[in-house]
Amino acid sequence: MSYDKELAAAKKAASLAARLCQKVQKVLLQSDVQSKNNRSPVTVADYGSQALVSFLLQQEFPAGFSLIAEEDSKDLRKDGAQEIVERITKLVNDSLTSDGSYSVTLSTEDVLKAIDSGKSEGGSEGRHWVLDPIDGTKGFLRGDQYAVALALLDRGKVVLGVLACPNLPLTCISGADRHSPNNEVGCLFFAEVGGGTYMQPLDGSSTVKVQVSAVENPEEASFFESYEAAHSMHDLSSLIAQKLGVKAPPVRMDSQVKYGALSRGDGAIYIRLPRKGYREKIWDHAAGSIVVSEAGGVVTDAAGNPLDFSRGRYLDLDTGIIVTNQKLMPSLFKAVRESLEEKALSL
């Protein structure tokens, strides 16, 4: 089955949302940051991105629309939030006007409803869009890496994914040059099941097919891990790297940008082993996982099982997530299991 129409709509929605985010990041003001209960900052751009993607997808696919997304409008409906809601609404309307395809002006209530349409529980039946409107809000606030991550589930399987990465250089990154000011930045990665993974600049010009690194020797492999210590135990990652003989220091980056960078061969390994009690949300991995697997990579949990997106809003999995190419997976898997066992014994 072809998902070409859905992929075209997803690329457009994610690109427009990324432009909205870029605009906000340029003029990041203190009042733009609201704090969520779990202390993860939420920005005007976060809500604006979700409202915009939700509205655009509903315009294209109104029948049986289902969206699983990170935000809801609860905090925006509280007293004192009116000014922020108006700013979000203006941002969304400006984005729609700049695109030119939609002659419509949304009210603040339209925007709040669009945000709230992301409350679907997902599951193994039917189709569900999966959105992280800004994956890596802390990276966004630091002026660093973040992504708009959008995927489509069909009967519990990820069938397409789009990652818009506004601050990722178009050329290969390494630990040393990922902040280089000379690099042109802004990448859009997209993949459809059975169709491979492609990358293009966010402005939509030339598209190239990408492949994961072909490195076979672990000593030559570089690896990514989460910037946030809560998302990955850095001490465990360094033990795994030591077992593999990896020489290069880890590249720490926020968000699913790591999946995009890995899909084009910037690094060969991504390890995410969160602390006990952390539950992975499907919007943090759905788009990234298909972008890597369609580029020839392998994405599994720490027990070697494929990720199961059919169980609702969470990925209930064994310990963590490991991503690499097919040649390196056996040795990476062995190093992960040994390191986890050693850590368990030392507790």
Helix axes 82-99, 44-60, angle to 10 degrees: 50
Establish whether 284 is an annotated binding residue: yes
pTM of the model: 0.94
Establish whether 154 is an annotated binding residue: no
Run of H or E residues at 169: strand 157-169
Q: 43, 89, 137, 197: which one is catalytic?
A: 137
Rounded CA-CA distance 246/30 in Å is 41
Establish whether 134 is an annotated binding residue: yes
Domain ranges of the chain: 3-209, 218-345
Fold of 218-345: D-Maltodextrin-Binding Protein; domain 2 (3.40.190)
Evaluate if residue 306 carries a pLDDT over 50.
Answer: yes
Which of 9, 28, 24, 287 minimizes the C-alpha distance to 163? 287
Run of H or E residues at 44: helix 44-60
Of 101-105, 161-165, 198-202, 285-289, which range is least confident? 101-105
Give CATH for domain 3-209. 3.30.540.10
Q: Is 46 a catalytic residue?
A: yes
pLDDT of res. 180: 46
How far is the CA of 117 from the CAs of 70, 123, 228, in angstroms?
A: 11, 16, 29
Establish whether 32 is an annotated binding residue: no
- Decide: 66 and 128 in contact? Cβ < 8 Å: yes
Measure the CA angle with vertex 305, ends 125 and 309; round to 5°: 25
Q: 32, 46, 144, 301: which one is catalytic?
A: 46
Give me the DSSP letters along 205-232: ---EEE-------GGG--EEEESSGGGS
Residue predicted with more confidence, 209 or 37: 209
Establish whether 316 is an annotated binding residue: no
pLDDT of res. 19: 96
Per-residue pLDDT of 183-219, as tens digits, reads 799 999 999 999 999 999 998 889 999 999 999 999 9
The pLDDT mean for the chain works out to 91
Where does the pLDDT of residue 31 fall: very low under 50, low under 70, confident under 90, or very high at 90 and above?
low
Q: How many CA atoms, within 13 angstroms, populate the side-chain half-sphere of residue 220?
A: 8
Rounded CA-CA distance 192/210 in Å is 13
What pairs with residue 197 in β-bridges? 191, 210
pLDDT of res. 176: 47
Query: What's the whole-number mean pLDDT along residues 74-97?
Result: 95
Q: Is 97 a catalytic residue?
A: no
